[in-house]
Structure 1
Amino acid sequence: MEIKEDNIINIHNFLPHREPMLMADYILELTKEKVMTSFEIKKDNIFVHHDEFAESGLIENLAQTCSSILGQSFFENPEADTKVIGFITNIKKIEIFALPKVGSTIISKASLISQFENICHIFCETFNNDELLIRAEINLFIQEVKS
């Protein structure tokens, strides 16, 4: 997939994560029901072992990708100092097929299956070019942290 600069959405508007735990670089597409992100695997990433992005990194990338769907309602006003916290409440099904190497740019896609208030059930997949790396169904919970 070609990443076009004019289609990129600032990930910081939809995720509270920051370095070193930010596992998505760009939002390439975002609606109320689906999201697509990209992430370049760098050598200094905390989930890189022996020049491969570990399973735990793939899962965190998926969780952050998925949380963009639910998190967008908290970050509608970019000037607001909104703080949120989110949790994976359940991994219903997960299949890991391959691990990407350092230097790869992975594309993650997620689709909302169902949502009740701040809890959602999402189907997600991550690809390296056309190779499917991981597929999962996860449940997430996100809430605003009051100061």
Structure 2
Amino acid sequence: MELKEENLINIHHFLPHRNPMLMADYILELTPEKVVTSFEITPDNIFVHNNQFVEAGLIEHSAQTSSSILGQSFFENPESNTKVIGFITNIKKIEVFGLPQVGDKIISKASLISKYENICNIFCETFLDDQLLIRTQISLFIQEIES
């Protein structure tokens, strides 16, 4: 997938995470049922060990990619000061097939399986080029918090 600047969506409009815990750079595609994100592995990332992005980082990246689907309802106005808190409520399945290296750019594709109010069940796969790195099925809960 070719990344063109004019097609990229700022992830900050859909996730409350900030550095050093932000594990997605851009949203490449976003609908109420699907999201595609990109993330470049940098040497200073907290989940890099021995030049590899470790399993915990892949899981966090999958969760953040997935939460963009639910998060878009909280961040519809980029100028708003909305504050949310989110949790992984359940991980039904995780399969790790490989680990990316520093400098690699990974692409994740997540799709909504089910949603009830602020809880959703999402399927996510992460790729390095054509190589599948991780496959997850995860449940998330997101709630707006009062300022």
Give the structure-1-normalised TM-score. Answer: 0.99
Q: CA deviation digits over 1:89-143, x for unaligned, max 9?
A: 0000110000000000000110000000000000000000000000010000000
Deviations 1:40-83, CA, capped at 9 Å, x for gaps: 00000000000000000000000000000000000011111000
Q: Distance in 2 between matches of 1:76 and 1:7?
A: 18
Residue in structure 1 matched with residue 84 of structure 2 by the alignment: 84
The equivalent residue for 1:125 is: 125
Runs of 4+ in 1 over 2 A off after TM superposition: none
Indicate the residue corresponding to 1:35 in structure 2. 35
* Gaps in structure 1 of 5+ consecutive residues: none
Taking the aligned partners of 1:77 and 1:30, their CA distance within structure 2 comes to: 15
| C-alpha distance in 2 between matches for 1:115 and 1:47 | 30
Secondary structure of residue in 2 paired with 1:106: strand
**Whole-Å separation in 2 of the counterparts to 1:23 and 1:142:** 17
Which residue identity is paired with 1:126? T
**AA paired with 1:10?**
N
* Distance in 1 of aligned mates of 2:79 and 2:102: 35
Match of 1:54 in 2: 54
Report whether the alignment pairs 1:10 with 2:5.
no
- Which residue of structure 1 aligns with residue 63 of structure 2? 63
Kindly provide the amino acid, as one letter, of the partner of residue 104 in structure 1.
Answer: D
> 2:112 & 2:61 partners in 1: Cα distance?
16
- Residue 105 of structure 2 is matched in structure 1 by 105
Q: TM-score scaled to structure 2, two decimals?
A: 0.99
Residue 116 (structure 2) pairs with residue 116 (structure 1): yes
Structure 1 vs Structure 2: percent identity of aligned residues? 76
C-alpha separation in 1, matches of 2:76 and 2:35 = 16
- In the alignment, structure 2 segments of 5+ residues that lack a partner are none
Q: CA deviation at 1:6?
A: 1.2
Number of aligned residue pairs: give it.
147
